[in-house]
Structure 1
Amino acid sequence: MTRNWLAVLVVATLIIALPASSVALAQESPSDAFDGTLSPQLADGEFDDAVRYDGLPSVYVTYDDGKNNSLATWAEGNTDRDIIAWDNESNRALVAASLSDLGLTRLQRTLGYGDGLASESYVEHMALNTQVGYAEPISVLDTADEYERPTYARVAAAMSTDATYDDFSGDGLAYSEDTEKSSMADVKAAVGADGLSVNGSGVRVAVIDSGLNAENMTGDPLYGDRLAAPKNTITNETGLDAVRDGNGHGSWVAGAIAADPDNTTEGEAYEGVAPGATVIPIKALSDEGSGSTQDIVEGIEHAQAENADIISMSLGSPMYNPTIAAEIDEFLANGGTAVIVAAGNSKSSPTAPLTRYISSPADAPGVIAVQATSTNNSTTAKVSYFGEVGPDNGLDASNGVTVDEAPDVAAPGMNVTAATLTDNGIRRNATLSGTSMSTPVVAGVGALMLEAQPSLENESESFRGYMMNTSARMPNAGVTETRAGLVNAENATSLTTTDEDQEDVRNDRAVARDLANRAYSGSSIVRVLTQWMPGMTVVASP
């Protein structure tokens, strides 16, 4: 322990003159993630996470208009080159080939790509095809006594002019002792979604996840006739059998949005937030909980083809994914109204400083990123101890696109019970915790909002703005934890905006956590220690 702290002090002495990086607004376009042709991951030679086909790494190649034939000709030049998928509307293809054929060996990257694909004049961008996982639910909630400050918190506090070490405590967050098991009826009451005259009818919500267990497309015990166009993008099969959910994660998410176990009873305990909405189930994650970038991209494309209004995505990765971000951007620009994404559950991991910040694609431009809270109204609700926060420090291979990103809104996501079917067709009310659980609550509120305010259809910027501006402010939450507070369906459906800003209602502990989150994110010393000295371990004090 003493030697670790000595090492920290030595490094601090060497780089004490480095200025803390200024916090800037996130850039507007996913294409800003590229500095030249290569994404930061490729430029740095980080290929370990690549999805491989026949042992060959795969990358996304964005090419100039009308140059798909040039790329096809290149692929035909060697039997070890393969075009896995084309997306000519986006001028993008998924390519598998050797690093040398791609122009990505260390020597080629150093000398300017040599004769590899990256050197071709028609290639605009190249990005890695990686695995993406669901925002894994928290199986057992921690107590307040188990909370640990993040690694290097003392360093960040020592170098900050605002934050103290005490500000890094977890006081004021929600733990197991703050969260009794709650039904969907409790959740709806907390977000003002009970007793409304709308139920999401006519709104199509695509759930990109691990699938959905349902019995029938018509007369289903949970969804009635409100299922549409199920597709498995991993196998490219359609139908309910194709999206069978051996994991249960996607089934929970869909149930929280739109399940209606007894359509003769209004306001029953396990009725989803929008029990009139239509669900488009898309299995892009395996039963083990992960899928490739391509699986997610094809899920978004399927949602767009099936005229989805809202996409719910309880999934993510610590590393920015420009391909998924670009596909989201395309969905929102071509008929989609909202993409709602889980912020992630890894903030409380003290040994993984990078994972405390909002995951990707929750940090993509235009999405609504969701934090998890206890199941209470906005006056007393607390932010979960595990929900990832902002301001993002941009150390996620985004080339600065994600800098300053943070969760936009919050919703209950701790010990929440929703109606599901197992893959054997057995009804089971499952209780889970995570931002995966709060995300479908926001998607359901979005469906209610869109039914009540149909003029917002296809108006993604206005929809996102109203979702945030009608949220109820939370005294117990910092703006780095949720920019706008707790979603409020009653306000959202009537477009009743909130007078106060979230920043103005914070209590002292929320203000302190904001100071700590900003100090940690902006600390150049923490950045150096995190990026360049991964082997150094500093035990965080309780």
Structure 2
Amino acid sequence: MQDESQGTPRGPETTGRTLVLFTRNATAQAPDMLQQTAGISALMSPELGAEPVAIKDMAEDGVVYQELGVAVVDADPDQVQALETAVAGEQPVLAVEAERVVYAIETSEEAPPDAPPTAAPWPDTEIGTWGLYATGALASSASGAGIDVAILDTGLDERHPDFATRNPELRSFVPGEEARDGHGHGTHCAGTSCGSRMVFEGPRYGVATDANIHCGKVLGDSGRGGDQGIIAGIDWALASGCDVISMSLGSPVAWNTPHSQVYETVARRALDRGTLIVAAAGNESDRRNDRVNPVGHPANCPSIMAVAALDNAEKIAWFSCGSDPKSGQVDIAGPGVNVRSSWPIPDRYKAISGTSMATPHVAGIAALYAEAKGVRGLDLWAALIQQARRMDLPSLDVGIGLVQAP
């Protein structure tokens, strides 16, 4: 998935670990159930302390994330079979799934090399980037003040001068790596969603300029990680009271592939608590060659808002994935081609493309609605959908349309 412009979706790459989903009222008993059902020893997540620990380095076989009711375990085939039997029985185990490998979603190619010239109604200016104009964020009176936004990605370079006064909360869920971003993707996404109004150099690029920033490093400096880091990051974001979670990450899926029951339940539980999860639809398409691939994992879950990418001529980005009625659909679109934002020092700024770049636009605008309208969870989802600008493009590609600020 590192080269999103080539090839077709392959089967999910897995880590060898297993996700176990429990009923909402059974989380406290989950370690005992794992032991009794499959002989698996597990810790509750708070017992792991401030630093993440790889399961292979633990005396136990896994971790139970109590905010979500999900365990990640090392299990042999017989133990997995015992857990799957429990799903069909009377025990409160709802689903058992293989843990997937996930990636930062971006594409280095900013536009098809053979694309004909098109009018660009939304150029960057010395005041703001084109995405802020296209979404109306630059003109919005809301700033996200008092709203907590979690960006789950490759971390953040907190040394960047544009974050000097923001006091972001940082946490790494990648064993052996600090929260500082050694990749760049996370710093770019954090900048788009919550970058400062006043910047060190160039135009403003941040949407929710006064939101409280929570950056969870769930992907390593290689841009690669696993479901465990994401689950841990979501668990932390909920425990931290975050109103919006932005995830510019994922893995490809094949057509007609069911979405993850674990992630769908996690997202639904988050919505019930007032937290909206927004995720990138994926970059596996090549519309230059008439190939559209389906929305990736975990954005293809119905309770996660899946974001497609548009260019500044208001055309669907050539790499942006599309809806699959049997797998998952695009819900909304955002600016995602040649998007300028923050980058780790010494570079400071960089323009890149991807549904990853569209996703933090939507997350930042969600923070604006949360502040301006006082809405959360499903009501926040509804506000984004109701106010989006309808487009003369297929809904399979752009969902309801282009996200708009209040």
TM-score range, shorter chain: 0.7 to 0.9
Counterpart of 1:514 in structure 2 is none
Determine helix, strand or coil for the equivalent of 1:194.
helix
Verify: 1:128 aligned to 2:98, yes or no.
yes
Tell me by how many angstroms 1:283 deviates. 0.3
SS at match of 1:269: coil
- 1:58 corresponds to which of 5, 14, 17: 17
Partner of 2:381: 464
Amino acid at match of 2:223: G
Structure 1 residue 95 corresponds to structure 2 residue 73: yes
1:478 pairs with 2:394: yes
Match of 1:252 among 188, 193, 199: 188
Q: Which amino acid aligns with 1:417?
A: R
SS in 2 for 1:86: strand
| Length, aligned pairs only | 364
State the distance in 1 between where 2:302 and 2:247 align: 15
For residues 134 and 195 of structure 1, the distance between their equivalents in structure 2, rounded to whole angstroms, comes to: 30
Q: State the 1:303 CA deviation.
A: 0.7
Alpha-carbon offset, residue 252 of structure 1: 0.3
Deviation for aligned residue 1:415:
1.0
The alpha carbon displacement at 1:128 in A equals: 0.8
How far residue 91 of structure 1 moved from its aligned partner, in angstroms, is 4.5
For normalisation by structure 1, the TM-score amounts to: 0.61
Deviation (angstroms), 1:224: 3.9
SS of equivalent to 2:358: helix
- Check 1:351–1:384 CA distance in 2 against 1; reply closer, same or farther (3 A cut): closer
TM-aligned CA distance change 1:62 to 1:272, over 3 Å: closer
> C-alpha distance in 2, partners of 1:262/1:360?
35
Structure 2: which 5+ runs fail to align? Answer: 1-10, 42-55, 254-258
- Superposed displacement of residue 245, structure 1: 0.9
Larger radius of gyration: 1
Match of 1:294, SS state, is helix
8 Å CA contact 1:221–1:261 kept in 2: the answer is no
2:219 is aligned to 285
* 2:344 counterpart (384, 409, 421): 421
CA contact (8 A) 2:65 2:235 kept: no
Deviations 1:182-225 (A, max 9, x none): 4643221111122332211111110000110012xxxx721244
SS in structure 1 at match of 2:32: helix
Shift of 1:67: 6.0
In structure 2, what is the Cα distance between the partners aligned to 1:291 and 1:102? 22
Q: Which amino acid aligns with 2:379?
A: S
Alpha-carbon contact 2:123-2:130 (below 8 Å) kept: no
1:300 is paired with a residue of what secondary structure?
Answer: helix
Instruction: Say which SS state the counterpart of residue 396 (structure 2) adopts.
Output: coil
Quick check: 1:414–1:432 contact (8 Å CA) kept in 2? yes
Task: Write the deviation string for residues 405-429 of structure 1: whole angstroms up to 9, x where unpaired.
Answer: 322221211112113333xxx2521
Shift of the 191–181 alpha-carbon distance from structure 1 to 2, 3 Å rule, reads: closer
Residue 141 of structure 2 is aligned with which of 176, 191, 197?
A: 197
| CA offsets 1:273-308 (integer angstroms, 9 cap, x no match) | 121112100100011112111110011011111111
Do 1:82 and 1:97's aligned partners in 2 also have CA atoms closer than 8 Å?
no
User: What residue number does 1:162 align with?
Assistant: none
138 and 363 in structure 1: CA distance in 2 versus 1, 3 angstrom threshold: same
Residue of structure 2 equivalent to 1:332:
271
- Is the 1:471–1:488 Cα contact (8 Å) retained in structure 2? yes
Question: Per the alignment, in what secondary structure is the counterpart of residue 385 of structure 1?
Answer: coil
Matched, 1:71 2:34: yes
On the 8 A contact 1:304/1:335 being kept in 2, the answer is no
Alignment of 1:215-234 (within 5 A): 215=159, 221-234=161-174
For the 8 Å contact 2:34–2:40, the answer to whether it is kept is no
Q: Which whole-Å CA distance do the structure 1 matches of 2:168 and 2:304 have between them?
A: 23
RMSD: 3.1
Q: Which amino acid is 2:343 matched to?
A: T
- 1:343-382 pair list within 5 angstroms: 343-348=281-286, 356-376=293-313, 381-382=314-315
By percentage of residues, which structure has more strand? 2
Q: Is the alpha carbon distance of 1:446 and 1:74 closer, same or farther for their aligned partners in structure 2, counting shifts above 3 Å?
A: closer
Answer whether contact 1:182 1:375 (CA < 8 A) is retained. no
The Cα shift of 1:143 comes to 3.4
Aligned 8 A contact 1:366 1:461 in 2: no
> 1:434 matched to which residue of 2?
354
Whole-angstrom CA distance in 2 between matches of 1:351 and 1:50? 29
Deviation of residue 321 (structure 1)? 3.0
Query: What is the identity percentage for the equivalent residue pairs of Structure 1 and Structure 2?
Result: 27
Structure 1 residue 49, shift from structure 2 partner: 3.0
Equivalent position SS for 2:133:
helix
**Equivalent residue in structure 2 for 1:410, among 330, 333, 348:** 333
- Aligned twin of 1:6: none
Q: Which amino acid aligns with 1:418?
A: S
Alignment CA distance shift 1:144-1:236 (3 Å): same
5 Å matches for 1:76-225? 76=39, 83-88=61-66, 90-103=68-81, 116-120=82-86, 121=89, 122=91, 123-144=93-114, 182=124, 184-215=128-159, 221-225=161-165
The 3 A distance-change label for structure 1 pair 445 and 92 is: closer
Decide which moves more: 410-419 or 221-230. Answer: 221-230
Partner of 1:389: 322
Determine the structure 1 residue equivalent to 2:3. none
How far the C-alpha of 1:176 sits from its partner, in A, is 8.1
Alpha-carbon distance between aligned partners in 1 of 2:206 and 2:260, rounded to the nearest angstrom: 31
Cα deviation for residue 350 of structure 1 reads 8.6
Q: 1:263–1:88: structure 2 CA closer, same or farther, 3 Å change rule?
A: closer
Q: Give 1:90 shift.
A: 4.7
Equivalent residues in 2 for 1:264-275 (5 A)? Answer: 269-275=203-209
Q: Compared with structure 1, are the counterparts of its residues 84 and 236 closer, same or farther at alpha carbon in structure 2 (3 Å cutoff)?
A: farther
Whole-angstrom CA distance in 2 between matches of 1:71 and 1:443: 36
Separation of aligned partners in 2, 1:429 and 1:77: 46
Tell me, in whole angstroms, the C-alpha distance in 2 between the residues paired with 1:387 and 1:195: 27
Deviations 1:333-376 (A, max 9, x none): 1131x2111111112179997x7111122221222221111225
Structure 1 CA distance, aligned partners of 2:351 and 2:151?
19
| d(CA) in 1 for partners of 2:69, 2:200 | 49
Please identify, of 185-194 and 134-143, the stretch whose mean Cα deviation from structure 2 is larger: 134-143
8 Å CA contact 2:67, 2:238 repeated in 1:
no
User: What letter matches 1:129 in structure 2?
Assistant: E
TM-score (norm 2): 0.80
Q: 1:68–1:91: 8 Å Cα contact kept in structure 2?
A: no
Cα distance in 2 for partners of 1:434, 1:176 equals 20
- Consecutive unaligned residues in structure 1, runs of 5 or more: 1-45, 52-56, 104-115, 146-174, 395-401, 494-542
Using a 3 Å threshold, how does the CA distance of structure 1 residues 139 and 302 change in structure 2: closer, same or farther?
same
Q: How much does 1:70 deviate?
A: 3.7
Name the SS of the counterpart of 1:356 in structure 2: coil
